[in-house]
């Protein structure tokens, strides 16, 4: 009897150990959809190229490699259904390059030759973003926020006569607008501008709406390095994410789905074996950050991050494949 009890006890211990080991297996994030981003030497070099990653496979594809009417596409944003992208760049052949807002449509095989919605007009047309329903684009023209249809018609100037307004982004309700002004984040709601909570640090920029309660933005810390913050529309104090660092910049955030699982961002982490800013993402539930190449590991024979600056990531659930 004692031997049976002992054997039974050993069996229970082995089962417990097995359960513990299984429970300790490293969690691997599961990403769906497509991430689009650009890379360049710097903002004024006009040498940007745009790329998209098929997240389940890690397949990397250059967007617009055969375009002939414009150069240096950056800061792309998907419509909700993924069938359009809007971005900024310059028409070719100008005496001096000129930022304009473009769109390109997915034709089932590739991204079509872009349509210039704003020029060339001699103005700086920058930072375009779709509304949640994909019918409207908001952007900045020489410091004034402008909305227009996704086809480029019906332009409405929202902040004429006011200090420079930049980096607009629709809130999840499709009505209110987040934007940057003089180093602070504002919310334009029913024609009223409200300065949002800032917190410790020097200045804020690049707001991105997440859900009906929260948004992302970048805050320059007292250490002079950028950090990603979670802001709240109700005015509550913002929260810093675990993947920020006092030693390098963390910026250009974009949520996966509503931002509760994963957040994409770019980082100046000097432990990543590439120069400049590099693509990364954070697994919020498990408090783990991933260099994009670390995540794909042996799935790819070459790295996605490069010696250029990888910037401006944006995500959509849709996937694209060339035939």
pLDDT in tens, 240-297: 999 999 999 999 999 999 999 999 999 999 889 898 999 999 999 999 999 999 999 9
What pLDDT digit, counting tens, does each position of 180-219 carry?
999 999 999 999 999 999 888 999 999 999 999 999 999 9
pLDDT interval class at 321 (50, 70, 90): confident
Contact criterion met (CB below 8 Å) for 75 and 69:
no
Q: HSE-up of 209 (CA within 13 Å, CB side)?
A: 24
Which residue has better confidence, 24 or 190?
A: 190
6, pLDDT greater than 80: no
* pLDDT given at position 7: 44
CA 66 to chain CA centroid, Å, is: 24
pLDDT interval class at 23 (50, 70, 90): very low
CATH label, 31-316, candidates 3.40.50.300, 3.50.50.60, 2.120.10.30, 2.40.128.20: 2.120.10.30
* pLDDT given at position 27: 76
* pLDDT given at position 13: 43
* pLDDT given at position 26: 64
What pLDDT digit, counting tens, does each position of 78-127 carry?
999 999 999 999 999 999 999 999 999 999 999 999 999 999 999 999 99
- pTM equals 0.91
pLDDT interval class at 1 (50, 70, 90): very low
* pLDDT given at position 199: 84
């Amino acid at each position: 009897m004692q031997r049976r009890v002992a054997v039974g006890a050993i069996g229970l211990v082995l089962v417990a150990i097995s359960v513990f080991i299984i429970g300790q297996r490293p969690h691997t994030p599961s990403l769906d959809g497509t991430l689009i981003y650009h890379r360049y030497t710097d903002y004024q070099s006009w040498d940007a190229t745009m790329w998209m990653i098929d997240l389940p496979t890690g397949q990397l594809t250059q967007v617009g490699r055969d375009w002939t009417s414009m150069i240096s596409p950056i800061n792309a944003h998907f419509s909700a259904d993924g069938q359009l992208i809007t971005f900024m760049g310059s028409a070719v052949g100008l005496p001096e390059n000129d930022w304009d807002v473009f769109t390109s449509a997915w034709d089932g095989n590739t991204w079509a030759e872009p349509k210039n919605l704003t020029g060339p007009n001699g103005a700086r047309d920058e930072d375009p973003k779709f509304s949640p329903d994909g019918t409207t684009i908001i952007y900045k023209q020489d410091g004034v926020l402008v909305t227009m249809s996704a086809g480029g018609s019906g332009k409405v100037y929202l902040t004429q006569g006011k200090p420079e307004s930049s980096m607009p982004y629709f809130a999840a309700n499709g009505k209110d607008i987040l934007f940057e002004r003089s180093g602070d984040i504002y919310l334009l709601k029913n024609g009223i501008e409200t300065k949002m909570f800032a917190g410790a640090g020097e200045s804020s920029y690049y707001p991105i709406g997440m859900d009906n309660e929260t948004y992302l933005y970048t805050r320059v810390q007292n250490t002079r390095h950028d950090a990603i913050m979670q802001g709240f529309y109700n005015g509550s104090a913002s929260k810093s994410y675990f993947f920020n660092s006092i030693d390098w910049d963390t910026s250009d955030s974009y949520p996966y789905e509503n931002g509760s699982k994963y957040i994409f961002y770019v980082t100046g982490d000097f432990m990543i074996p590439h120069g400049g800013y590099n693509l990364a993402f954070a697994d919020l539930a498990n408090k783990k950050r991933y260099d994009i190449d670390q995540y794909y590991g042996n799935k790819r024979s070459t790295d996605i991050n490069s010696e250029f600056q990888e910037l401006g990531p944006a995500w959509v659930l849709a996937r694209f494949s060339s035939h």
